[in-house]
Chains A and B, each alone.
Chain A
Amino acid sequence: GAVVSQHPSWVICKSGTSVKIECRSLDFQATTMFWYRQFPKQSLMLMATSNEGSKATYEQGVEKDKFLINHASLTLSTLTVTSAHPEDSSFYICSAPGQVLKREQFFGPGTRLTVL
């Protein structure tokens, strides 16, 4: 099956710094990717939809200026958490859809962000 990778798998940073998380589709092209956030012992919540060649679409309540998304190519989307604070500590997961008719989603392994 299709593989989605994320880098880094975990990151610890100081409050006020910015962190970039990469999401790559390894063996297929993805014009759209999704970014989810999962707080401890909670479900995955969609943050934004990343679109290659255009602006990302953010879910209600998600700060666009804080969570910068860039879909640089058909295989790469990046999420940058700007001026991170402890409340941004979470598990960030990306996914890429597969064939339209199958409504498949291929998930990355996630990135654990801890902001001190």
Chain B
Amino acid sequence: AQSVTQPDIHITVSEGASLELRCNYSYGATPYLFWYVQSPGQGLQLLLKYFSGDTLVQGIKGFEAEFKRSQSSFNLRKPSVHWSDAAEYFCAVVIMDTGRRALTFGSGTRLQVQP
């Protein structure tokens, strides 16, 4: 079965510091990879996605992610975190070679930003 792992349950960074959230998937097939953010009381917002091509993808709000096939990873990064970035972040995957279109989500990483 497909799985997505987010090793860090909770991360705290200072405002202005850089951020990296880890995501690993376990598949042999090529995945479609996504990062979503969920703020308290709000729905999921897509930050960025990777399908193919350039392995470094740019998203909204200054986020970027890099797909590394050799490491089965799709880590999310931001050079300078803002207080408004505090939220829950989910990595998700859809496997291209299956007919399944539903997303499989990682367990999420809660980001706290210190002033």
Contact = CB atoms under 8 A, between A and B. Distances in A.
Partners in one complex: yes
Interface of A: 32, 34, 41-46, 49, 93, 95, 97, 100, 102-105, 107-110
B43 A44 contact: no
B11 to A, nearest CB: 14
Contacts of B32: 103
Contacts of A34: 101-103
Interface of B: 32, 34, 36, 42-44, 46, 49, 51, 90, 94, 96, 101-108, 110
Which of B51, B96, B102 gathers most chain A CB within 10 Å? B102
B101 A43 contact: no
A38 B36 CA distance: 14
A42 B96 CA distance: 26
A43 B102 contact: no
Contacts of B94: 103
Given A43-B107, A43-B108, A107 B44 contact: yes
B108 A42 contact: yes
Which of A41, A43, A93, A110 gathers most chain B CB within 10 Å? A43
A39 B43 CA distance: 14
A105 B90 CA distance: 14
A93 B88 CA distance: 15
B43 A108 contact: yes
Contact of A43 (B49, B90, B96): B90
Given A105-B101, A105-B103, 8 more contacts: A43-B90, A43-B108, A44-B90, A45-B105, A103-B49, A103-B94, A103-B101, A105-B46
8 contacts: A45-B105, A46-B104, A49-B102, A93-B43, A103-B51, A104-B49, A108-B43, A110-B43
A97 B101 contact: yes
A94 B110 CA distance: 22
A50 to B, nearest CB: 11
Contacts of B110: 41
